[in-house]
Structure formats: C-alpha cells, structure tokens
Structure 1
C-alpha cells in the first residue's frame, strides 16, 4: 500500500455562513468543471463531496440518495459513524482513489466504517471491506504486537466490531503467538544450557508487558484463550500479577485504614476496579496446575475487600489460601478491617480461612478412608495441622491487645482449631494472658469462660510457673495448674510419668466388634493421631525432667559438704509446692484490680 502523504483535509467548518469546500489538487484536476454536489455530516462535521465516486463504492450512500424525494438530494447525515470523522475521511479518500496506508491503528475502524457504508464487492472489486480483511488476516494476525494495537483501537468502536469477528480474530492470534513463543523458548532452553533461564524470562516478559494495556474484558478473553490453547499456567499467573499491579495501583493505602475517607474516585472508577478484581480472580489457574504466590492471593483478597467484590470472589480467594495455610506467615493474616467501630483486624475472614483448611483436611481423610494409607502421608497431614496451630496461636497473641476485639470473636477464633492441633498450650495461654491484660474490665464469669480452653496438662514447665503466679487468672485456674504440676512431679518421682494417662488412652481406643470396617478404620486413625500427639507431649516432658535432674545433681554436689542428702533436698522442694495447694494454707490471692501493686515476683513473663 502506498503511504499517504497528502495532508489536505476533506472537512470544513460547520458554519452556515461559510460553504464547505473540498480543495484537493487530485480531485480538482479530475472534477475541474464539477463543483461538490453533496454535503455529508458526521458527528457535527460537514464534508463537501461528489455523489458519483461515493455511490459507485458505497451501497449505503447509494440507497440514501435513491431513497430521497428527488435525485438532487444534497445533504446527508451519518449517525453513529464508527471511528468518527477521521475514519470517515479515510473512507472518502479511498472512494476517490487516493493513496493512504492501512495500519494496525486504523484497520479496525476502517473495517467497521466499510461495513457501515456497505462497501462490499457487490459494488466494486477490491472494495474497502476486502482490502481491510486482507490486512487483518494476512498482516495483523502474524504479529502479537499488532493484534494488541488493534484490540486497543476496538475499545472505542461500537458493538459492530465484535459482530465482524475482529476481536475474536485478534484474541485467538495473540494466544497462538504466545504459545509459539513458549515453544520457541522451550526449544532454545534445550540448546542453550547456561542462558536458558535468561532467554525464557525475556520471552515471557515482552508479551506480558504488552497485554497490560488491554481493557479488562479483552484481557479476560485473551487469557481464557491462552489457557485453552495450552500456555503455561506459570506464565498466565505472571501476567495476572503484572496486570493487577498496573491496573490496581490507583487504590491508595489510605483506603485500608480509613474506611470513612472522602470518596475521591468516581463511581465509574470504583466499579471498574471491582470488575478488574473479580475478573482476575476468575482467571486464576486451578489449584493443582500452578502455585499462585500467597503474597498475590492475600493482596487480591485485600483488594476484593476494599472494592467490595462479590462474596463468591472473596470465598474463592479464601479457599485458595486455605489450601496452603501451613505456608502462610503471620503478617499475611493481619488483614485490616474496614468496618467502622469494629476490631482493627478482619477476624471473620481469617476464621473462614481456617474453617476451609480444616474442611479440606476432613475431606482428604474421608477420601482416604476406603483404604489404608502410609504413615508418611498421615504424619504429613498432622504436621500441617500442627503448623497451622502454632500460626493461629501467634495470630491470637497479635490481635489480643486490640481494645475493640470482643470476647465472642476471640473465643470463636480459639474454638476453630481442634485439641489435637496443639502439642502444648503455651501459645494459647500466652494469647489469653495478653487478652486478659488488655481487657481488665472482664467479669469473673467471662475470665473463667475464656480460661477453660487452656489444658493445664499441656503447659510446659515455664508456662506452668508463670500461670501459678499470674494474678489475672481465676483462682480455680491457678489451683488447677498447681494440682497438675504437683501430680506431674509425683509421677516423675515414681518413675511413671504419663503411663497411666497413656494406658487409659490406649484402652479407650479399642474398637468395638460391632463397628463397621469404615468406622473401625476411622477410629484407628483418630487413635493413631492421639497416640502421636501423646508421644510428642511425652518427649517434651522427658526433656523437662532431664533438665530438672541436672539441676538436682548440681544441688546435691553443692550441698554434700553440709551433710544434706538428696532426699532431704527433694522433700523440701515438694513441701514448698504443697504450700500453694493446701486447703487453707498459703497466701491469699489479691483481686485482679490490684495488679502491679503487689511485691510478688513474676518470673517468665510472656505478656
């Protein structure tokens, strides 16, 4: 196609006092004796033209002239012309036989204009419809960059552009070209051992950058087509992350912590952001096909909460996060709450994530109940649960100082995890202690209700010593802690630490003969899990006893010169413990309001 170099415009001012002119050297030479005989108005702009070259190529203009009251009709108006005045001017130049270049920037508008003007082969060979089709099918589809440029021009065109198939053609061409690049990079990686990583990364980056300029509906079509053709899920995820970073960067950080902010963005902008978030979540690959970075999932979840995305969108993100909850960090779970007069953090969202995690574990166990599984798989699932237990205990300790955190929400978060998710309750005890310190106005009944979740038998020696001197705990709780500590020391002296409890667990786990094989297997699985948990506890107890034994031996060696024997020292140690647990002996506990005024020492403070 010859490049167009004539800069003379066909348009004229829309002013009744000044007649429209068509001053072009090429036309003046051909029609030197013929003045313009028809004025066509497009978007308020008038064009003085000649009927003959127009009706010979445009079926629409021919029909409009023929349908007039007489053949001497001199004024026409084209409503909703695709591409506007500039595209109409190019179409008219084509009718007059003037040379200009069809490019990716004007191909789609010219194709729509040709369809609007009915410039088909029925009126003239190699008409504008045929010429634009040849360019789109032979030139544009061969280049991913040109396809993206054509799609960008389609954003401002009427729905006829989709009816003509231009959008689908470009979308499929982009997906196919990206797939070809993927194959080329894969083959190049086989040939270039040392440079394969750089080559592969470079091949992915250039088209990912190009796609970020597309409107979200076109981008959705492109990514869907890529997934169907077979583009790598990791490449799709990388493209989604880049598109989100570019298109959602306008959401300010102040929106997170200031829900009552003035609405600086227009409703259209917020609606577009909501559409983008929901579309990107819908485009995420399946859980098993690709590992989406957790940082991106949590970022999208925060965005979904800010723009008030649909419930289905947020639940999908929560489900994906729950699938790998054992890999989540504490900072990821600290999602700010946007609701006024509520806790500082979005606890309801974290609660749903944990519930989803437990539901997935239960579903996996039900699927495996038909056959026996290896110990490795079983221990792997239990290990993930223990990691989540430690994570949630840390989360509880982090949100406990929040003065707006209600007791109901705090307890609901504690009750989410089962008992076997914690080997020891030190983390839970620390979180509850921090909550009691931050909420001194709790009643005795509320304190008892909260402390009942602490299993005194699962506290370490350090936590037990702290709990025995903690004035924030209810009196019954402190007595219970001292009782189990004394019982543990007694069992340690008798050399039967944990034997009675363990034997009781084993005897209670014998399956009944009346149970079905499925229930029998489920019971054995539960018993196996409890035994593993008990073994973990016994290991902790054993390490503590070994430390105590070292301290006792050191004391015996120091006091051997004074004639004190091992049994004398040990009996005095037991006597000191008995003071706290006696029915009427010992010091009286001070009320919770007198905290900080007592002279009692507080060792091992965890709050």
Structure 2
C-alpha cells in the first residue's frame, strides 16, 4: 500500500488509473490518493512519478522490469500521451535486452519481486525465451569460431565455454526451471545443460550439511526441498542425461536429507540403477535418517539394485540371439556389469554387516537379489556373512543356518575354505559341507588344478 502527496496534472496526464481515481473521487480539493498492491512498491512508483514530471533518470536492466510493471499498473499507455512509459520500457527491452544474453539474465533476476504483474504481462516469458535463444546462438557462433583441425588426425575439435552456466545459478528455482526447458527446445547442447544443473545444485544446496543418525534438530527448510525436487523433476521431464553418476548420488543424498517426496527419490534411484556397475562403495554408504533403524539406508540401496537388475533383464532380452542365451546368464552381454555389481555388493554387505541394528531379513534380502552368476567366487559373500555373525551373536541357530545356506561352498577359494573349516561361528552343517568340497578339491589337485587366494577374514 502506497500513500503519497501528488501534483495532479503530471500524473493525470500520463496515468489512466490516476485519471480515473481523480475523476471518481469528485473532490476538487483532492490532494491525496491511496494505491494498493503496487508492483515494485514505493520505489517503482517514485520512478514512474519522475518520468511523469520529466525528471532525468536512466532505464537500466535493474529497473526496467519494475518500470514496465508499474507502467502497466498505472495504465501509462499511448492513449494518454505519446511515448508513454510502457512504450519507453518496451523499446529498451526490445532494443537492448532481448538481444543480449547477459542483460536478459539480469532483467529476469530483477523480476522475482514483481509477481503477479510481471507474469500477467508476459515479461518473464520474454526474458526466458531471450536467454534460451541467445545461449543457443552463442553456442553456434562460438562453435564455428573455435573449430580447429587436428593436423595429425584431420579431426575437427570444438572448444566452447558457456559463461552463462554460473550466471544461471542466480535465478530463482522456478525461473531456472523454465529457462532450462526453453534451452532444451532451442537446441542448447545437453552437456551444457547438465553442467548448469550440477552448478545450480552445488550453489543452491551448499548450505546443507550431512546429518547423521545421532544428530538431532530440525530438518532444512522447505525452500531447499523445493530446489531438490524441482531439479530432479527437471532432469526427468526434459530427459537430461548428461550428468555424472557421482552427481546423481549427491542428489539422492540431498533428497533424503531434505525429506523430498518418495517419487523424486525413486526417479534418481532409477537413473543410478542404469549405471550401478560404475558406482563406488562410498557411493552406496548412505546414512539412514531414521534413528530407530540401521545406520545405513539399506532400503534405498535395495531399490537401486532392483532397478539395475531390471535394466540387465531388459538389455539381455533385447539382445538375445535366435537361440537365446543360457539361463544362467553367463553368456549374457551384460555379464561383466553383473560381476562388477556382485563385487560391489559384497563390499557393501561387509560394510553394513557390523551394524547391530541391521535386521537379518534385510541383510538376507540383499544377498538373495543377485543371481548366482553374479559371483564367480563366494569369498566376499562369506566374509560379509562371517562379519554379520560376529556382530550378531544372539542369532538363533536356525537363523544362522538360514543365512549360511546362501553361501555356495563349491565357490569358496582354498583360503576361504580353510578359514571356514575352523570358524566356530558357522553352523556344523556348513563346516561339514566346506570340508566335503575341500576333500574333493584335494583329490583333484594331482591333475594340476589350483584355486586362487581369497581375502581377509575375521
């Protein structure tokens, strides 16, 4: 709400709203008007008043959005005077702003406090489209200017630097989402958009510190949750794939940290599942946010593994030869990826096994998810199970038997078998099985068979 003392004529001559208010007041001595919901507030109105009074002031990228909105609010059209404020701001916008990427960004940043008027007049859409079109043009021109011919190979190389990647991080998240969508439509390179999303996330979410299960206190604010959910939704709707696996894991951790909706977390998990074989053990060690459960978020890793296996199944079914692959998956084109994930999961199981709060059923479910052909040897699995048995001495004998049945004794190395044969944490039935297969191994040793060494055991 703005209350002000006015000289009637300069404002009435240029502002339709002021003229109408004065006419409707029917008070010849009127010296005061009250305006409500003024876009840009008193500062914007003061600039409009200066324009009406003929005072000198400069239209800039910092004030053109405010001037355009206040001009619309005051109805400063050509019906009242030529070259009124609406026309003047439109000239500035068309001549200097929309043709320049940097200026378009500056103006869009200045629009944030002008809702809803700035949206109603289409000002934001024009800035968004200008940013996208100018970014696309810059990439085209820069690409052509920097094409170089490699004298050795005759190949063309392109060197481009997208300076706007960092500048976009200054935008409010809803504006940023619209800019990225417009860039996709205008043909901006996917890798540039991916770099921009990574930078925006790093800038907007840098204040979030990793919490642990033993930490207390309120979660981060809704604004950061909106940022995380919007970026994830943006990657999904715009089909943006040019981001790294480490970034996806970072976004997943952030989504958990800010308590983003489950749908958003599942979207990131699906993307991670497409490339799980490239993940590291540290990537999977996601702290649990639930103080009453295990130290690590096992449910999230479980869903990621399910997504990976679904991808493998789809890949294999699509690449089948007319005769098909063997049912054990050993001739599958994805077998190498499955082996990598098998080793990764064995390492993960060993890391989470010492957690005293880890339920047996969750532990076993993770083990059972992987197909048999995911492990050439079961040494890693045996080590993880042994660690779990050591950390959970209160397990019933029936539970120990059930867990140890998941180990294929024929796939243990000689070192692992020797360790298992002397392991008093194992059920007797498993020790017998280990000794039996060790005897078979010894009988065949005269033929030159040799089994490689295993790992370290507790």
* Aligned equivalent of 1:464: 417
Q: Provide the rounded CA distance (Å) in 2 between the counterparts of 1:388 and 1:605.
A: 20
Which of 233, 236, 239 is the equivalent residue of 2:190?
Answer: 233
Question: Does the 8 A contact of 1:59 with 1:119 survive in 2?
Answer: yes
Q: Provide the rounded CA distance (Å) in 2 between the counterparts of 1:352 and 1:177.
A: 41
* Aligned equivalent of 1:452: 405
* Aligned equivalent of 1:278: 229
Q: Does 1:488 align with 2:441?
A: yes
* Aligned equivalent of 1:262: 217
User: How big is the shift at 1:125?
Assistant: 1.0
Q: Provide the rounded CA distance (Å) in 2 between the counterparts of 1:287 and 1:95.
A: 46
Question: Does the residue aligned with 1:77 lie in a helix, a strand or coil?
Answer: strand
Q: Does 1:208 align with 2:165?
A: yes
Q: Does 1:137 align with 2:44?
A: no
Which of 368, 373, 378 is the equivalent residue of 1:425?
Answer: 378
Question: Does the 8 A contact of 1:465 with 1:604 survive in 2?
Answer: no
Q: Provide the rounded CA distance (Å) in 2 between the counterparts of 1:116 and 1:367.
A: 60
Distance 1:218 1:64, change over 3 A: same
Q: Does 1:43 align with 2:2?
A: yes
Q: Provide the rounded CA distance (Å) in 2 between the counterparts of 1:330 and 1:264.
A: 27
Question: Does the 8 A contact of 1:256 with 1:306 survive in 2?
Answer: no
Question: Does the residue aligned with 1:544 lie in a helix, a strand or coil?
Answer: coil
Distance 1:542 1:235, change over 3 A: farther
Distance 1:287 1:69, change over 3 A: closer
Q: Does 1:333 align with 2:284?
A: yes
Which of 120, 130, 133 is the equivalent residue of 1:163?
Answer: 120
User: How big is the shift at 1:155?
Assistant: 0.7
Distance 1:383 1:198, change over 3 A: closer
Q: Provide the rounded CA distance (Å) in 2 between the counterparts of 1:365 and 1:419.
A: 16
User: How big is the shift at 1:119?
Assistant: 0.6
| Bigger CA radius of gyration | 1
Q: Does 1:151 align with 2:73?
A: no
Q: Provide the rounded CA distance (Å) in 2 between the counterparts of 1:100 and 1:604.
A: 77
Q: Provide the rounded CA distance (Å) in 1 between the counterparts of 2:449 and 2:270.
A: 39
Q: Provide the rounded CA distance (Å) in 2 between the counterparts of 1:348 and 1:133.
A: 55
Distance 1:237 1:402, change over 3 A: same
Question: Does the 8 A contact of 2:213 with 2:290 survive in 1?
Answer: no
* Aligned equivalent of 2:311: 360
Question: Does the 8 A contact of 2:14 with 2:76 survive in 1?
Answer: yes
Q: Does 1:393 align with 2:350?
A: no
Cα shift readout 1:204-242 (whole Å, capped 9, x = no counterpart): 1x2111111110000111111111111111111111111
Distance 1:304 1:135, change over 3 A: same
Distance 1:482 1:335, change over 3 A: same
User: How big is the shift at 1:378?
Assistant: 5.1
* Aligned equivalent of 2:451: 544
Q: Does 1:317 align with 2:224?
A: no
Question: Does the residue aligned with 2:167 lie in a helix, a strand or coil?
Answer: helix
User: How big is the shift at 1:192?
Assistant: 7.6
Cα shift readout 1:406-462 (whole Å, capped 9, x = no counterpart): 111111111111112111111111111111111111121111011010111111111
Q: Does 1:108 align with 2:72?
A: no
* Aligned equivalent of 1:244: 201
Q: Which 5+ residue runs of structure 2 have no aligned equivalent?
A: none
Q: Provide the rounded CA distance (Å) in 2 between the counterparts of 1:604 and 1:465.
A: 12
Q: Provide the rounded CA distance (Å) in 2 between the counterparts of 1:450 and 1:95.
A: 84
Which of 268, 275, 300 is the equivalent residue of 2:251?
Answer: 300
User: How big is the shift at 1:197?
Assistant: 8.3
Question: Does the 8 A contact of 1:466 with 1:604 survive in 2?
Answer: no
Cα shift readout 1:148-185 (whole Å, capped 9, x = no counterpart): 11112111113110111110111011111111221122
Question: Does the residue aligned with 1:338 lie in a helix, a strand or coil?
Answer: coil
Q: Provide the rounded CA distance (Å) in 2 between the counterparts of 1:245 and 1:138.
A: 34
Q: Provide the rounded CA distance (Å) in 1 between the counterparts of 2:359 and 2:325.
A: 43
Question: Does the residue aligned with 1:80 lie in a helix, a strand or coil?
Answer: coil
Cα shift readout 1:377-413 (whole Å, capped 9, x = no counterpart): 9553011111111110111111111111111111111
* Aligned equivalent of 1:75: 32
* Aligned equivalent of 1:17: none
Cα shift readout 1:39-98 (whole Å, capped 9, x = no counterpart): xxx535x2x322122211111111111111334333210111111111111111111222
Distance 1:490 1:241, change over 3 A: same
Distance 1:291 1:146, change over 3 A: closer
Question: Does the residue aligned with 1:462 lie in a helix, a strand or coil?
Answer: helix
User: How big is the shift at 1:288?
Assistant: 8.4
Q: Which 5+ residue runs of structure 1 have no aligned equivalent?
A: 1-41, 496-540, 548-602
Distance 1:542 1:380, change over 3 A: farther
* Aligned equivalent of 2:15: 58
- Tell me how large the CA RMSD over aligned residues is: 2.6
User: How big is the shift at 1:130?
Assistant: 0.6
Question: Does the 8 A contact of 1:287 with 1:320 survive in 2?
Answer: no
Question: Does the residue aligned with 1:139 lie in a helix, a strand or coil?
Answer: helix
Question: Does the 8 A contact of 2:2 with 2:41 survive in 1?
Answer: yes
Q: Does 1:408 align with 2:361?
A: yes
Question: Does the 8 A contact of 2:379 with 2:416 survive in 1?
Answer: yes
Question: Does the 8 A contact of 2:194 with 2:240 survive in 1?
Answer: no
Q: Does 1:173 align with 2:112?
A: no
Q: Provide the rounded CA distance (Å) in 2 between the counterparts of 1:79 and 1:342.
A: 54
- TM-score for the superposition, normalised by structure 1: 0.70
Aligned length: 452
